[in-house]
């Protein structure tokens, strides 16, 4: 807003009093003690602001620039102006007393004079609407930070157990029959995993759900890290075996289509997506973030099975490899496989 004008200075003080009632602290750069370049300080204040109020009275070019900068970040901008700035004036050839064309369609809150009660009510209502999603996001961010801190404080074993319990609860809620892979005790569901693979995948969760002629499978594998040897097990013992006749013959399944979702949850390490895509050549980036999918050539009928020529396999590998996403696994699973 314009500085050193009695009316705008008074309106600023009215704004401060009005918004203080709803817990909003209003700052103007000329009232902040600093030792910075004034332009740099204004930009810094905009970057740190939850929202910006731009008063267009006296048509200061800097106000238009700063409001545009805020919108581009994006920071919500509430526009205000004195009520005589919406008509042309014969004595205003430079347009210093008019809201410029590009902002005339904005829902601008007008004020007539300092102390305007209607302006105060409208400003409070508008700001309440603007800050409502901001406050909600702050609460969510605070809860997320608390979850991350609590997850980090757990021992490795407890982290893995928490991830397994969360996944089991989610998949059971979707109607999957759940089996935990045991290195010493193979089950009918995991019969297609040999002893060596069960050693690598011990503790993983396998979920199976039949839907008419279709088969849905999930494989949830929380691990400390993903190395080359584990990638090979994924490639040959997990993804590769999903296209094998043995899997369907041993399980007495006859699906028209099989959909297989693999969740790799890595507690440490980086570039898990890159390592998987390098070690498993037939995987490519999926449409969903942090996912890899099998190429269309990975079909069950690639085995030249004439008995079921239309059966098809769809494999998606979901990678969860950050503390933020791991600590919020329930939401992550909801997004990937919603209820």
Domain boundaries, the chain: 6-142, 154-336
Q: What is the mean pLDDT of residues 270-297?
A: 84
Convert the pLDDT of each residue in 185-236 to its tens digit.
665 555 556 666 777 888 899 998 887 778 888 999 999 999 998 898 888 8
Checking if the pLDDT of 300 tops 80, the result is no
Q: Structure pTM?
A: 0.70
Asked if 263 and 318 count as a contact pair (C-beta separation under 8 A), the reply is yes
Q: What is the mean pLDDT of residues 17-33?
A: 91
Q: 195: Cβ–Cβ under 8 A, 6 or more apart, which residues?
A: 183
What's 195-248 look like in SS3? HHHHHHHCCCEEEEEEECCEEEEEEEEEECCCCHHHHHHHHHHHHHHHHCHHHH
Q: What does the DSSP assignment read for 290-334? A: TEEEE-TT--GGGG--SSSTT-EEEEEEEEE-SHHHHTTHHHHHH
Name the least confident of 92-101, 172-181, 191-200, 271-280: 191-200
Q: How confident is the model at residue 270 (pLDDT cuts 50, 70, 90)?
A: confident
- For the chain, give the percent of residues with pLDDT over 90: 55
Residue 259's H or E segment, with its range, is: strand 257-266
Checking if the pLDDT of 281 tops 50, the result is yes
Q: 6-142, which class in CATH?
A: alpha beta
**Phi/psi zone of residue 60: left (φ > 0), alpha (ψ -120 to 50 degrees), beta?**
beta
The number of residues making up the chain comes to: 339
Q: What is the pLDDT of residue 35?
A: 81
As a whole number of angstroms, the distance between CA 138 and CA 291 comes to 28
**C-alpha distances out from residue 221 to 49, 286, 321, Å:** 42, 19, 12
Q: 83: Cβ–Cβ under 8 A, 6 or more apart, which residues?
A: 110, 111, 112
Nearest Cα neighbor of 312 from 209, 243, 261 is: 243
Arithmetic mean of pLDDT over the chain = 85
As a whole number of angstroms, the distance between CA 131 and CA 154 comes to 35
Checking if the pLDDT of 151 tops 60, the result is yes
Q: Of 302 and 110, which is predicted with more confidence?
A: 110
128-134-136-139 Cα dihedral, nearest 10 degrees: -130
**Phi/psi zone of residue 203: left (φ > 0), alpha (ψ -120 to 50 degrees), beta?**
left
**C-alpha distances out from residue 138 to 143, 145, 328, Å:** 9, 10, 16
Matching residue, tokens 């401060």 = 16
Q: What is the mean pLDDT of residues 80-106?
A: 87
- The terminus-to-terminus CA distance of the chain in angstroms comes to 50
Convert the pLDDT of each residue in 169-185 to its tens digit.
999 999 999 988 887 76
Q: How is residue 191 written in tokens? A: 């019969």
């Amino acid at each position: 807003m314009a500085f050193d004008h009695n009316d705008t200075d008074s309106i600023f003080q009215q704004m401060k009093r009005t918004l203080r009632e709803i817990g909003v602290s209003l700052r103007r750069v000329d009232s902040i003690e600093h030792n910075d370049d004034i332009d740099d300080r204004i930009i810094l204040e905009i970057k740190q602001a939850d929202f910006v109020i731009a008063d267009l009275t006296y048509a200061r070019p800097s106000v238009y620039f700063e409001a545009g900068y805020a919108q581009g970040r994006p920071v919500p901008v509430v526009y205000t102006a004195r009520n005589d700035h919406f008509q042309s004036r014969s004595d205003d050839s430079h347009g210093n007393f008019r809201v410029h064309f590009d902002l005339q369609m904005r829902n601008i809150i007008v004020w007539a004079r300092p102390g305007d009660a209607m302006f105060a009510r409208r400003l409070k209502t508008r700001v309440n609407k603007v800050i409502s999603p901001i406050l909600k996001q702050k609460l969510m961010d605070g809860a997320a930070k608390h979850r991350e801190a609590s997850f980090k404080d757990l021992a490795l074993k407890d982290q893995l157990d928490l991830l397994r319990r969360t996944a089991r609860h989610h998949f059971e809620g979707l109607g999957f029959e759940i089996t935990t892979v045991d290195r010493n005790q193979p089950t009918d569901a995991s019969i297609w995993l040999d002893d060596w693979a069960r050693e690598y995948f011990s503790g993983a969760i396998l979920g199976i759900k039949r839907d008419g002629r279709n088969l849905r499978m999930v494989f949830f594998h929380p691990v400390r890290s993903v190395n080359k040897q584990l990638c090979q097990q994924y490639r040959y013992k997990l993804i590769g075996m999903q296209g094998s006749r043995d899997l369907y013959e041993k399980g007495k399944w006859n699906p028209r289509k099989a959909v297989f979702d693999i969740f790799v949850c890595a507690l440490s390490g980086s570039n898990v997506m890159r390592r998987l895509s390098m070690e498993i050549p037939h995987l490519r980036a999926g449409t969903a973030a942090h996912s890899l999918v099998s190429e269309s050539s990975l079909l069950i009928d690639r085995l030249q099975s004439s008995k079921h020529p239309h059966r098809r396999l769809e494999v998606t590998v979901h990678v969860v490899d950050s503390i933020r996403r791991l600590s919020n696994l329930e939401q992550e699973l909801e997004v990937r496989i919603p209820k």
